[in-house]
């Protein structure tokens, strides 16, 4: 066993020889460096020996495991070492690092930006949902030295979280998609959300970074004051100005101040995706990606992983948006669904998580909002929908909702399925 007396530089030398980090032995490949992360319900140190037996080049641990093996590297804190290693690697990269956060739409925006930039640059970006205290450093460490640009997604549910990511990601560009009613339990209200997400702009302000800002949102204009360079995009002003041409079912956007781009026909469902598209266009233009590549990249992007997916099943048209949900995104999705030209519309709405003491009130307000429209059927599933007053159909979980859905045998209907990730609303279709 080796003690890490030589510091992070020593581990980085090993990383350059074995540039693949893994934290789960089930996904380990030969030559990976295993970081033995621990949490409330698991202890990665107990898997270090197994990792080496499976072919790991080294295992980084922070507890003695009674094994004599020079491939074991003992540190004080495995997670801190992972983050320090990520920072050290970041400091070797002389490229634009674009950080993105927000309450809604950050993953779709990240994917659109990545598609645009990857059409012209060697681009690295957050894979899947690796946007937390483990995922962010892993994403940084996945950026190879041939990178020309990178996009890092940052999720957060409490104060100081974004600030901590910035401390080792060191972004020089940033985007806050929006600040909505998400993770209210951790942030303590909408002002807390803005303060927490605003930590990205605070970092850029203090480091002469640059921000891309959706100019339609006054609060983002206010939050970005003092940043050395702000690149605006929006429906009225900015380097990129665009408006919705149509949205039934897919979103078509007209870029009004660029004739070469003109209409962009996306495969995205929902008018709430307009800022996401405009952001990708603005970033593409800022980094001088040719217009034809910007247009083709956005038009080619198809959402997946239960994010505003349009699914045809039998004679029904289904919008599956079951990856995440909060009061802001729920109302946007319901309002968009109500605006579609369809006669028979069915709602399956799952409970919203992490709303704290506001949870029952927010669920009641959402139910009341749903009641403003005429629907063929409304089904509420789980969460605090069980604790409010409403006249809709209610099931305790998505499995019960699925049984009902199968028995109903809907035909020629438009169906919206949306809920927080833990509700597993996609089960209704499986």
Q: How confident is the model at residue 245 (pLDDT cuts 50, 70, 90)?
A: very high
Q: Quick one: pLDDT at residue 183?
A: 77
**H or E element in which residue 107 lies:** helix 106-118
In a domain, 11, yes or no: yes
**141 shares a domain with 265:** yes
Average pLDDT over residues 53-58: 97
Average pLDDT over residues 412-426: 95
What total number of domains does the chain contain? Answer: 3
**H or E element in which residue 283 lies:** helix 274-286
Average pLDDT over residues 22-51: 95
Strands 149-153 and 229-234: unpaired
Q: What is the CATH number of the domain that holds 258?
A: 3.40.1190.10
Average pLDDT over residues 184-197: 85
In a domain, 58, yes or no: yes
What proportion of the chain, given as a percentage, has pLDDT over 90? 86
Residue 422, preceding peptide bond in cis (omega within 30° of 0): no
Summarize pLDDT for 215-224 with one digit per residue, the tens: 999 999 999 9
Summarize pLDDT for 163-176 with one digit per residue, the tens: 999 999 999 999 99
* C-alpha separations of 45 from 39, 81, 148, 207, 221 in Å: 11, 14, 36, 37, 47
**273 shares a domain with 180:** yes
In a domain, 376, yes or no: yes
Contact (CB, 8 A) for 48 and 36: yes
Domain that holds residue 388: 309-429
Domain's final residue, options 75, 104, 127: 75
Q: Quick one: pLDDT at residue 188?
A: 79
Q: Taking Cα atoms as reference points, which of 105, 58, 61 lies closest to residue 323? A: 105
**323 shares a domain with 295:** no
Contact (CB, 8 A) for 295 and 261: yes
Average per-residue pLDDT in the chain?
A: 94
Q: Quick one: pLDDT at residue 1?
A: 61
**341 shares a domain with 411:** yes
In a domain, 81, yes or no: no
Domain's final residue, options 19, 41, 75: 75
- Residue 61 predicted with pLDDT over 60: yes
Q: Helices then strands (H, E): number in the chain?
A: 15, 22
- Residue 305 predicted with pLDDT over 90: no
**248 shares a domain with 339:** no
Average pLDDT over residues 238-256: 95
* C-alpha separations of 267 from 112, 270, 296, 297, 301 in Å: 11, 10, 12, 11, 7
- Residue 180 predicted with pLDDT over 90: no
- Residue 391 predicted with pLDDT over 90: yes
Q: Taking Cα atoms as reference points, which of 196, 206, 204 lies closest to residue 161? A: 196
- Residue 3 predicted with pLDDT over 70: no
Q: Quick one: pLDDT at residue 5?
A: 46
C-alpha 7/C-alpha 190 separation (Å) is 41
Q: How confident is the model at residue 6 (pLDDT cuts 50, 70, 90)?
A: low
Average pLDDT over residues 302-328: 89
Contact (CB, 8 A) for 272 and 177: no
Q: How confident is the model at residue 308 (pLDDT cuts 50, 70, 90)?
A: confident
In a domain, 112, yes or no: yes
Q: Taking Cα atoms as reference points, which of 222, 204, 215 lies closest to residue 239? A: 215
If you ran DSSP here, which 8-state letter would residue 288 be given? T
- Residue 409 predicted with pLDDT over 70: yes
Strands 240-247 and 229-234: parallel
Q: Quick one: pLDDT at residue 185?
A: 76
Domain's final residue, options 44, 75, 106: 75
Q: Quick one: pLDDT at residue 249?
A: 87
Residue 249, preceding peptide bond in cis (omega within 30° of 0): yes
**270 shares a domain with 228:** yes
C-alpha 23/C-alpha 60 separation (Å) is 10
**222 shares a domain with 134:** yes
Q: Quick one: pLDDT at residue 258?
A: 83
Q: How many CB atoms lie within 10 A of CB 51?
A: 27
Contact (CB, 8 A) for 216 and 232: no
Q: Quick one: pLDDT at residue 388?
A: 97
Q: At what angle do helices 78-90 and 161-169 cross, to 10 degrees?
A: 50
Q: How confident is the model at residue 236 (pLDDT cuts 50, 70, 90)?
A: very high
In a domain, 135, yes or no: yes
Summarize pLDDT for 277-288 with one digit per residue, the tens: 999 999 999 999
């Amino acid at each position: 066993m080796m003690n890490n007396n030589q510091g992070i530089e020593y581990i980085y030398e090993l990383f350059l020889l074995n540039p693949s980090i893994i934290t789960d032995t089930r996904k380990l490949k030969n030559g990976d460096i295993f970081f033995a992360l621990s949490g409330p319900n698991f202890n990665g140190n107990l898997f270090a020996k197994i990792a080496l037996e499976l072919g790991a080049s080294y295992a980084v641990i922070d507890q003695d495991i009674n094994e004599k093996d020079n491939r074991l590297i003992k540190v004080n804190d495995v997670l801190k070492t992972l983050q320090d290693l990520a920072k050290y690697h970041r400091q070797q990269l002389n490229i634009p690092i674009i950080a993105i956060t927000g309450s809604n739409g950050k993953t779709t925006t990240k994917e659109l930006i990545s598609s645009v930039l990857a059409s012209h640059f060697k681009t690295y970006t957050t894979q899947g949902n690796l946007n937390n205290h483990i995922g962010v450093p892993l994403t940084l460490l996945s950026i190879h030295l041939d990178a020309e640009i990178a996009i890092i997604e940052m999720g957060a549910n409490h104060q100081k979280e974004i600030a901590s990511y910035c401390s080792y990601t060191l972004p020089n560009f940033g985007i806050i998609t929006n600040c909505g009613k998400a993770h209210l339990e951790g942030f303590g209200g909408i002002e807390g959300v803005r303060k927490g997400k605003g930590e990205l702009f605070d970092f850029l302000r203090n480091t002469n970074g640059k921000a891309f800002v959706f100019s339609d949102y006054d609060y983002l204009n206010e939050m970005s004051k003092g940043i050395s360079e702000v690149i605006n995009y929006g429906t009225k002003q900015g380097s990129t100005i665009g408006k919705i041409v149509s949205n039934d079912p897919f979103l078509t956007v007209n870029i009004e101040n660029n004739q070469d781009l003109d209409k962009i026909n996306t495969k995205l469902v929902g008018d709430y995706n307009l800022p996401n598209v405009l952001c990708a266009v603005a970033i593409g233009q800022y980094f001088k990606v040719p217009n034809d590549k910007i247009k083709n990249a956005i038009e080619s992007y198809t959402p997946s992983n239960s994010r505003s997916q349009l699914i045809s099943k039998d004679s029904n048209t289904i919008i599956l948006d079951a990856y995440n949900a909060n009061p802001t995104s729920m109302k946007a999705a319901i309002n968009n669904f109500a605006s579609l030209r369809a006669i028979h519309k069915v709602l399956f709405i799952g409970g919203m998580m992490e709303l704290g003491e506001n949870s029952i009130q927010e669920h009641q307000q959402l139910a009341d909002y749903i009641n403003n429209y005429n629907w063929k059927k409304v089904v509420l599933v789980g969460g605090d929908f069980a604790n409010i007053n409403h006249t809709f159909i209610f099931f305790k979980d998505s499995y019960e909702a699925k049984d009902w859905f199968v028995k109903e045998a809907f035909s020629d209907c438009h169906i919206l399925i949306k809920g927080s990730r833990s509700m597993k609303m996609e089960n209704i279709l499986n």
